[in-house]
């Protein structure tokens, strides 16, 4: 007997893809008005201010046990100071389309992390990983061949941010299964924001809020409340009703949608090198996700939920 899917499932997931894809463009433009560490501070203070009361309202009386608090702090370190600091610093120089493509590596990195912990990948997963990282190599070499060291540096920082995000997803999977994504996300972001406060407050020196335009503040609210709040809830509500293959389709829509939006709105070029690397990365990720319990048990995550 098939389970009836919610009528708004696919429209909601389409909205999720648009918000997630727009995150890279909004981050790029908002960083013109905010220093990256200041933007990270404001973004996650505001995200905590939204998610904490929402979680208390929607999950009254539910708390993470003291035995799991250490894991929450570790996940907070990975999600905010490491992932987000690296992401926002890197986005000063990386293009939106490159950043979205690098985040598409997350499922392949999850398989590699599982393999490092003793889970042997299948031949298909191994082939997919090789294909995906060949695409990343093409992406980075294309940056180098154009003698753009800042852009290459941005790509490498984004790649490190993706590694932190993949480790976060791997280590947070059991906790999310036990307590649910909303509670874990609220607790992790609160912990990560607390850990980031000393760095963020130091970064405020010399920052003048009066110089930020309405567009800059709107970008901050987009990143804090749409990307890190609403979009996360939409995504995990959606994947509860999807098969793994369908989840992969929706997740892998983000890089091409981001590239098209960046080309149309930011005038970012789409050279042949990018198109080739996109084909390799997305083809490799699709191949790797096509089989194996690790990928089926670990749905993707919306860009910016912590991931971007």
Q: Supply φ then ψ for residue 32, to 5 degrees.
A: -75, -20
Q: What is the pLDDT of residue 302?
A: 52
The single-letter DSSP state of residue 67 is: G
Q: DSSP H helical segments within 59-122, as ranges?
A: 69-77, 85-90, 96-103, 106-116
Number of domains in the chain: 1
- Tell me how far apart the alpha carbons of residues 48 and 257 are, in angstroms, rounded to a whole number: 28
Does residue 305 belong to any structural domain of this protein?
A: no
- Tell me how far apart the alpha carbons of residues 50 and 227 are, in angstroms, rounded to a whole number: 12
C-alpha of 58 from chain center: 24
Does residue 14 belong to any structural domain of this protein?
A: yes
Q: What is the pLDDT of residue 247?
A: 67
Number of neighbouring beta carbons within 10 Å of residue 267: 7
Does residue 2 belong to any structural domain of this protein?
A: no
Q: What is the pLDDT of residue 246?
A: 66
Q: What is the pLDDT of residue 177?
A: 84
Q: Is the dihedral angle over the CA atoms 111, 112, 116, 122 positive or is it negative? A: positive
Q: What is the pLDDT of residue 231?
A: 83
> Per-residue b/e over 125-139, b at no fewer than 16 CB within 10 Å?
bbebbebbbbbbebb
Does residue 1 belong to any structural domain of this protein?
A: no
Does residue 59 belong to any structural domain of this protein?
A: yes
Does residue 52 belong to any structural domain of this protein?
A: yes
Does residue 145 belong to any structural domain of this protein?
A: yes
Structural domain range at position 167: 9-297
Helix pair angle (149-179, 106-116), 10° resolution = 70
Helix, strand, coil % (nearest 5) of the chain?
80, 0, 20
Does residue 201 belong to any structural domain of this protein?
A: yes
Q: What is the mean pLDDT of each run of 10 residues along the chain (308 residues)?
A: 68 89 95 97 94 88 94 96 94 93 89 89 90 87 67 92 92 88 90 96 95 97 90 74 67 86 90 85 83 44 51
Q: What is the pLDDT of residue 3?
A: 54
Among the listed residues 286, 304, 260, 305, the one whose alpha carbon sits nearest the alpha carbon of residue 135: 286
């Amino acid at each position: 007997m098939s389970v009836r899917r919610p009528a708004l499932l696919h429209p909601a997931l389409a909205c999720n893809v648009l918000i997630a894809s727009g995150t890279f463009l909004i981050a790029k433009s908002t960083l013109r008005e905010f220093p990256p560490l200041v933007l990270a501070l404001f973004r996650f203070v505001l995200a905590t201010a939204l998610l904490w009361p929402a979680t208390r309202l929607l999950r009254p009386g539910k708390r993470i046990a003291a035995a799991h608090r250490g894991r929450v702090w570790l996940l907070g370190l990975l999600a905010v100071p490491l992932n987000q600091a690296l992401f926002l610093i890197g986005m000063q120089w990386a293009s939106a389309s490159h950043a979205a493509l690098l985040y598409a590596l997350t499922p392949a990195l999850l398989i590699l992390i599982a393999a490092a912990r003793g889970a042997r990948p299948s031949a298909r997963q191994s082939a997919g990983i090789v294909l995906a990282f060949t695409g990343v190599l093409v992406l980075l070499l294309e940056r180098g061949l154009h003698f753009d060291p800042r852009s290459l540096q941005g790509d490498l920082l984004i790649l490190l941010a993706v590694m932190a995000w993949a480790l976060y997803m791997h280590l947070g999977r059991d906790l999310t299964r036990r307590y649910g994504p909303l509670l874990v996300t609220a607790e992790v972001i609160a912990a990560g924001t607390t850990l980031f406060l000393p760095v963020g407050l130091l970064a405020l020196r010399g920052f003048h809020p009066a110089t930020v335009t309405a567009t800059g503040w709107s970008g901050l609210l987009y990143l804090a409340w749409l990307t890190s709040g609403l979009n996360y809830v939409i995504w995990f509500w959606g994947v509860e009703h999807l098969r793994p293959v369908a989840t992969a389709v929706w997740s892998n829509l983000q890089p091409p949608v981001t590239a098209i939006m960046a080309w149309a709105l930011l005038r970012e070029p789409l050279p042949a090198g990018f198109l080739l690397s996109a084909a390799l990365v997305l083809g490799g990720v699709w191949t790797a996700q096509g089989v194996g319990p690790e990928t089926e048990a670990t749905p993707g995550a919306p860009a910016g939920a912590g991931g971007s």
